[in-house]
C-alpha cells in the first residue's frame, strides 16, 4: 500500500501510522510526541499550521461557491448570507482540521520511516 493511502488510513481511523493499535491524536488538534503503544516518535513530524492553510484554501472555494449559489437561487438578505457562510465554514472546518493534520503528521512520519 502506498504512503498516501497509509497516511489517509491513519488519519481517518485516528490510529498510529506505525502500529495501528493506539489512538493517533488523543486530543483534537494536538499531535502526540510518541505513540502510547509502540513508542513511535512523532516529535520531528509536527505539521504546525499547514493543516489550517490547506483547510482555509479548500473552504474559500466551497464557501464562496455556496454564497454565489445561494444568491443565484434565492437572493436572500445579507444577514442570511452571513449565517449560511458561517454555518458552511464552521461545519466543514471543525471536522476537516484534525483529519488534515493527522494526515500531514502521518505522511511525514511514514515518508521519513521509509527513507
Phi, psi of 34, deg, nearest 5: -155, 160
Considering the rule CB under 5 A, would residue 10 count as an interface residue with Zn ion?
no
Cα separation, 53 vs 89, in Å, equals 14
Coil, strand or helix at 7: helix
Q: Which stretch binds Zn ion (CB under 5 A): 2-10, 30-38, 94-102, 106-114?
A: 30-38
Question: Helices 50-73 and 78-114 sit at what angle, rounded to 10 degrees?
Answer: 150
Minimum distance between the CB of residue 95 and Zn ion, rounded to whole angstroms? Answer: 24
Per-residue binder mask for Zn ion (CB under 5 A), 33-62, x = binder = --x-xx-x----------------------
Quote the cell numbers at residue 11. Answer: 488519519
Q: Which residues bind Zn ion (CB under 5 A)?
A: 16, 18-19, 35, 37-38, 40
Amino acid at each position: 500500500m502506498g504512503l498516501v493511502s497509509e497516511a489517509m488510513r491513519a488519519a481517518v481511523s485516528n490510529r498510529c501510522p506505525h502500529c495501528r493499535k493506539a489512538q493517533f491524536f488523543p486530543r483534537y488538534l494536538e499531535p502526540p510526541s510518541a505513540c502510547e503503544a509502540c513508542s513511535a516518535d512523532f516529535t520531528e513530524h509536527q505539521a504546525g499550521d499547514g493543516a489550517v492553510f490547506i483547510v482555509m484554501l479548500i473552504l474559500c472555494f466551497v464557501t464562496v461557491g455556496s454564497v454565489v449559489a445561494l444568491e443565484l437561487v434565492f437572493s436572500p438578505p445579507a444577514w442570511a448570507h452571513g449565517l449560511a457562510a458561517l454555518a458552511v465554514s464552521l461545519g466543514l472546518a471543525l471536522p476537516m482540521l484534525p483529519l488534515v493534520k493527522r494526515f500531514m503528521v502521518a505522511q511525514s512520519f511514514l515518508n521519513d520511516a521509509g527513507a
